[in-house]
Amino acid sequence: MVDIKSLLSQLTLEEKAAFCTGSGPWQTIDVERLGIPRITMSDGPHGVRKVQNIEEFGLAKSFPATCFPPAVLLASTWNKDLVQRVGEFLGDECISLDVDILLGPGVNIKRTPLCGRNFEYYSEDPYLAGEMGTAFVKGVQSKGVGTSLKHYSANNQEYQRFIISAEIDERTLREIYLPAFEKTVKESQPWTVMCAYNKINGIFASEHYDLLTRIMKSEWNLDGFIVSDWGAVQNRVAALKGGLDLQMPGPNDLDVQKVVEAVKNNELDENVLNQAVERILKIIFRAKKTKKAHIEFDKEKHHEFARKVAAEGIILLKNEDNVLPIKDASSIAIIGKMAKEPRFQGGGSSLINPTKVDNPFQEIKKLGGESILVRYADGYAKEGIDKTLIDEACDVAKQSDIVIIFSGLPFEHESEGYDRKTIKMPESHIELIKAVAKSNTKTIVVLNNGSVISLYEWIDSVPVVIEAYLGGQAGGGAVADVLFGKENPSGKLAESFPKRLEHTPSYINYPGEAGKVRYGEGLYVGYRYYDKKSIEPIFPFGYGLSYTTFAYSNLTISSKSFKDIDGVDVNVDITNTGKVPGKEVVQLYIHQPNPKADKPNKEMKGFSKVELQPNETKTVAFHLDSRSFAYYSVIHKSWVWDNGEYEILVGASSKDIRLRTKVILESTQNLPCKLNMDSTLRDWLDDPNGKFIIDEMIAQRINQVKMQNPDMEVDENQVKQELLMWAIDMPLLRMFKYVENQLPMSAEDLVKYFLTRVGVNNEENAS
């Protein structure tokens, strides 16, 4: 067993400073005299992009590897076990390619559909993103290979990503942008966490003490080290103070010297440097326990598994008149260049050199067999509308029983490094779809895109729409499997599809100005926003059809009333009421009818994917703990939950709620009183002890009115309501000032007396 403390004590100051910076683009430094090896990192997350020349930076040529479906499609599977298996396959490929740490997964929230990197992220919902990230990390690390959870945090746009400051209130940060990181760290302990380029509230992520040290390391107990995104460090000494352990890429002799000088000048505590080195050493020796070698992995096996994953993430958005699955067709028209030049991954650092790529056109021909005549037309040019190509496509469509159009977004529309300008598809694609749909009433549109696109311009003209997203190298075969019913589609949207860009929550505040982007929508991201604003998306979060049907019944709870420390168990029966086997994603949301704090109408707190044969019923079980009902209190700096009634909603999407039931939560939280001299009457009533005092005060006022008017019948509720109506948001001190000459002491002393009664005993809390 390696004695890390002993190694640390033998390193010189200069060696320790150098140790916290890479030796090159992809590796840490080694120290031969102490037997400290180097480790190799590689871009991911949906494939291993190990460059053939380890000294090359940027998008250098990489070794062939399996291009699995990117995160956008993985999340659409809603299958944690499947995502964990993807991680296991990736771990095997890392071992084969001598990679110690795979740089992924990305769990950033999809705040705006314009983010050029959305295909690398899971969802608009932090719960779903956290579950997917946790499964992925567990899978990779089960093989003895590390991961790097990224990009921490609030990295939600590519526009000015190196300098933009995400201006976010504390509650929104805690409830929307941190939970996926929190869950993944707490439940799967990634070996590394990668900080983002951007600033958060004016402080670079690489220097953010609150995020890196106070929250990530101390509160969440990260066991590994924090690494910079490549080139994210602005000030090396400030970054070390903030909690950033490893700077990448390297070498950087100037920054190393700055660290040495900072320690010598007592600007930087050497213990901070020691802790960073110790964290890095621990992971290096953990990585070296797994023997890695250039051993061929089973490329065909990995490709076939990638095909299965892609098929499970494909979403059937529309299937009028049960056009799908394809049966009894003697001729098929395949239209669109994407059928022969498949779009299966996004651009940037995650660009994989695939071992092979399924061609959708060939895969459809193969599954259709010799009995089906297949015709083809390009349909659209790369740039502009080509009427000749559209006319040719319409002619082919008229001659065929069924038409399949491959459309979506061209490769150059989505990439790391820049955002999209619009969510509209190219006009050439839109015009093609509308024209072909008039030529053949059985037109199927297959979409290949990495993020939300606008569909309202044409969707009413076609009976069938398949969202195939970016399916990885086997995505073409997966589409064919779904078209012919070899696979029953079971994917569900992990992001809402709005009708227009103007409907999206961040529309007014994106992309920011003067180096800042204000997260003015707060908690209301994705379906939370559409619910609150009563805006109907064209397809809601959690939506997806199947070739079979499912019935929900028998929603039960372990207790109608429960204590927060116990939580509550929820069971629901799901039955396949159709004629073919299928999988359903059962989604659980929580609604609080009368929240004390501002809250979304509902929030997802559980999901489960269940596989059922025709007429088969299974019981799906959920456990909801206190955190499921909590919100983050900026006053208490902690998660809190209210006593009272909550509604459990179970359904097939955020808009398709099938069953509901009510529960009563009994809180055992003993929160410290946060009332002060500026607290309003409403604040006092929200505090249990404060409410007792106010009720007492109101009772005294009622008695006073009765004494002043002995012959008049006093309506106690009216007296109470009048007081609450005009004074509810008035500070108690101000209210007492109005009647100070009638009080037994000054208004200020009276409020201080009340504060003492509720447990606020010092001037600091009372001011």
Q: Give 106-133 as a DSSP string.
A: B------TT-TTGGGB--SSHHHHHHHH
Q: Shortest CA distance to 36 belongs to which of 293, 286, 281, 251?
A: 281
Contacts of 758 (CB under 8 A, 6+ apart): 673, 675, 687, 689, 690, 693
CA distance 693 to 691: 5
Radius of gyration of the chain (CA): 30
Average pLDDT over residues 581-586: 98
Q: In the predicted model, is pLDDT for residue 706 greater than 90?
A: no
Q: In the predicted model, is pLDDT for residue 165 greater than 50?
A: yes
Q: Over the stretch 85-138, which tens digit does the pLDDT of each residue have?
A: 999 999 999 999 999 999 999 999 999 999 999 999 999 999 999 999 999 999
Q: Shortest CA distance to 419 belongs to which of 409, 427, 431?
A: 409
CA 384 centroid distance within chain = 35
Q: What is the model's pLDDT at position 762? A: 55
229 classed as catalytic: yes
CA distance 90 to 22: 24
Of all residues in the chain, the percent with pLDDT exceeding 70 is 99
Q: Over the stretch 319-370, which tens digit does the pLDDT of each residue have?
A: 999 999 999 999 999 999 999 999 999 999 999 999 999 999 999 999 999 9
* Phi, psi for 633 (deg, rounded to 5): -95, 115
CA distance 28 to 37: 8
Q: Shortest CA distance to 636 belongs to which of 670, 593, 682, 601?
A: 670
Contact between residue 334 and residue 479 where contact means Cβ atoms under 8 Å apart: no
Q: Shortest CA distance to 291 belongs to which of 147, 36, 96?
A: 96
Q: In the predicted model, is pLDDT for residue 760 greater than 90?
A: no
Contacts of 387 (CB under 8 A, 6+ apart): none
Give every strand in the sheet of 550-557, ordered side by side.
550-557, 568-576, 617-624
H helices of 553-641, in order, are none
CA distance 79 to 82: 5
Residue with tokens 């299966």: 344
Contact between residue 121 and residue 129 where contact means Cβ atoms under 8 Å apart: yes
Q: What is the model's pLDDT at position 346? A: 96
Q: What is the model's pLDDT at position 54? A: 92
Q: Shortest CA distance to 504 belongs to which of 146, 49, 157, 89?
A: 157
Amino acid identity, residue 665?
L
Q: In the predicted model, is pLDDT for residue 294 greater than 90?
A: no
Give every strand in the sheet of 199-200, ordered side by side.
203-204, 199-200, 165-167, 516-518
Q: Give the pLDDT band of residue 766 (cuts 50, 70, 90).
A: very low
Q: In the predicted model, is pLDDT for residue 652 greater than 50?
A: yes
- CATH of segment(s) 38-250: 3.20.20.300
CATH 3.40.50.1700 fits domain 302-533: yes
Q: Where in the chain is the domain with CATH 3.20.20.300?
A: 38-250
Peptide bond into 105 cis (omega under 30): yes
Contact between residue 113 and residue 539 where contact means Cβ atoms under 8 Å apart: no
Average pLDDT over residues 180-202: 98
Q: Tokens for 453? A: 């696109």
CA 59 centroid distance within chain = 26
Measured N-to-C along each axis, helices 270-287 and 253-264 cross at an angle, to the nearest 10 degrees, of 130
CA distance 87 to 132: 11
Q: Over the stretch 523-569, which tens digit does the pLDDT of each residue have?
A: 999 999 999 999 999 999 999 999 999 999 999 999 999 999 999 99
Average pLDDT over residues 588-596: 96
Q: Shortest CA distance to 128 belongs to which of 495, 546, 562?
A: 495
Q: In the predicted model, is pLDDT for residue 712 greater than 80?
A: no
With residue 659 as reference, give the H or E element that holds it.
Answer: strand 657-666
Contacts of 487 (CB under 8 A, 6+ apart): 311, 312, 314, 478, 481
Give every strand in the sheet of 561-563, ordered side by side.
561-563, 657-666, 644-651, 582-591, 603-612
Which member of 229, 378, 531, 642 is catalytic? 229
Which CATH homologous superfamily contains domain 550-666? Immunoglobulins (2.60.40.10)
Which of the residue ranges 506-520, 653-667, 670-684 would you say has the lowest mean pLDDT? 670-684
Average pLDDT of the chain to the nearest whole number: 95
Q: What is the model's pLDDT at position 728? A: 87
Contacts of 50 (CB under 8 A, 6+ apart): 26, 40, 42, 62, 63, 65, 97, 98, 99
Which of the residue ranges 51-60, 126-135, 319-328, 654-663 would you say has the lowest mean pLDDT? 51-60
Q: Shortest CA distance to 122 belongs to which of 49, 199, 181?
A: 181
Contact between residue 45 and residue 120 where contact means Cβ atoms under 8 Å apart: yes
The CA-atom distances, in angstroms, between 652 and each of 83, 129, 152, 344 are 21, 18, 31, 28
Q: Shortest CA distance to 115 belongs to which of 159, 75, 58, 180?
A: 159
Q: Is the dihedral of CA 454, 459, 462, 463 positive or negative?
A: positive
Q: Shortest CA distance to 574 belongs to which of 523, 625, 610?
A: 610
Amino acid identity, residue 47?
G
Q: Give the pLDDT band of residue 714 (cuts 50, 70, 90).
A: low
Q: What is the model's pLDDT at position 763? A: 55
Q: What is the model's pLDDT at position 695? A: 86
Measured N-to-C along each axis, helices 360-368 and 475-483 cross at an angle, to the nearest 10 degrees, of 40
Q: Where in the chain is the domain with CATH 3.40.50.1700?
A: 302-533
Average pLDDT over residues 746-762: 88
Contact between residue 66 and residue 299 where contact means Cβ atoms under 8 Å apart: yes
Of all residues in the chain, the percent with pLDDT exceeding 90 is 88
**Helix, strand, coil proportions of the chain in percent (round to 5)?**
35, 20, 45
How many angstroms separate the most distant Cα atoms in the chain?
100
H helices of 338-382, in order, are 360-368
Three-state SS letters, 266-317: CCCCHHHHHHHHHHHHHHHHHHCCCCCCCCCCCHHHHHHHHHHHHHHHCEEE
What does the angle CA 644 – CA 175 – CA 495 come to, to the nearest 5 degrees? 105
Q: Tokens for 358? A: 């399924």
CA distance 404 to 380: 14
- Kind of pairing, strands 315-319 and 41-43? unpaired
Contacts of 327 (CB under 8 A, 6+ apart): 485
Q: Tokens for 107? A: 């769990």
Amino acid identity, residue 716?
E
Q: Where in the chain is the domain with CATH 2.60.40.10?
A: 550-666
Amino acid identity, residue 745?
M
CA distance 470 to 368: 23
Q: What is the model's pLDDT at position 759? A: 86
CA distance 545 to 324: 11
Torsion of CA 201, 203, 206, 211, to 10 degrees: -50
Average pLDDT over residues 689-713: 80
CA distance 493 to 73: 9
Average pLDDT over residues 454-469: 98
